[in-house]
Amino acid sequence: MGFFIFAFIAYLLGSIPSGVIIGKIGYNIDIREHGSGNLGATNTFRILGVKAGITVTLVDILKGTTATVLPLLFDVEVFRLAIGLFAVLGHTYPLFTKFKGGKAVATSGGIILGINPILFAVMVLSFFATLYLSKYVSLSSMITGVVTIIVSALFRETGLVIVTAILTILVFYRHRENIKRIKNRTEPKITWM
């Protein structure tokens, strides 16, 4: 019973559309009507700027971290990585925005932060190193997923490897249009790094 309660809470947490909320409250803009139309951090950076983008990124990370930490606070024994998956499910298919959500990157990172901060640090380093070299946020996100799977194997925790693999597959799936644009050389590059 405890698993289903925390899974439901995690899904609701994940469903909080931080990009939409920040856009409407702080800027009187519906982020979904601008740029790529996505409500995630990357589109927020492009449309609303650095301050809003950082805020959305941190909130989206926190959604995953909170979902994995909550069972500990209530001293409930559950597979916390699986609970975290429901937060990502909520983020990508949110209840509050007609199941149209983000691309799973920041909230996935938040899950890992709540379970294994060392692996999270590796993810952050991998992301920014790849971003520096490629200038593509989407490509950096996908490569970071692959690196995370490889590094997670070093911890010899089967569950961690399986969940990071699931998250990476989801990130690739959510970036399928970006992959096409990268191949066609029409994917936007960052200009600030």
Which residues make Cβ contacts (< 8 Å) with residue 99, sequence separation at least 6? 93
For 126-151, how does the pLDDT look when each residue is reduced to its tens digit (9 = 90+)? 999 999 999 999 999 999 999 999 99
Amino acid at position 159, single letter: G
Measured between alpha carbons, how far is residue 147 from residues 121, 142, 143, 144, 152 in Å? 12, 9, 6, 5, 8
Q: Please report the pLDDT score of residue 192 as a whole number.
A: 80
Contact 173, 92 (CB under 8 A): no
- In the predicted model, residues of the chain with pLDDT beneath 70 are none
Residues whose CB is less than 8 angstroms from the CB of residue 26 and which lie 6 or more positions away in sequence, other chains included: 48, 52
Neighbours of 135 (CB within 10 A): 16
Q: Which residues contact 10 (CB under 8 A, 6 or more apart)?
A: 67, 70, 83, 84, 85, 86, 87, 90
Domain parsing of the chain, residue ranges = 2-184
pLDDT at 3: 94
Write down the pLDDT at residue 57: 96
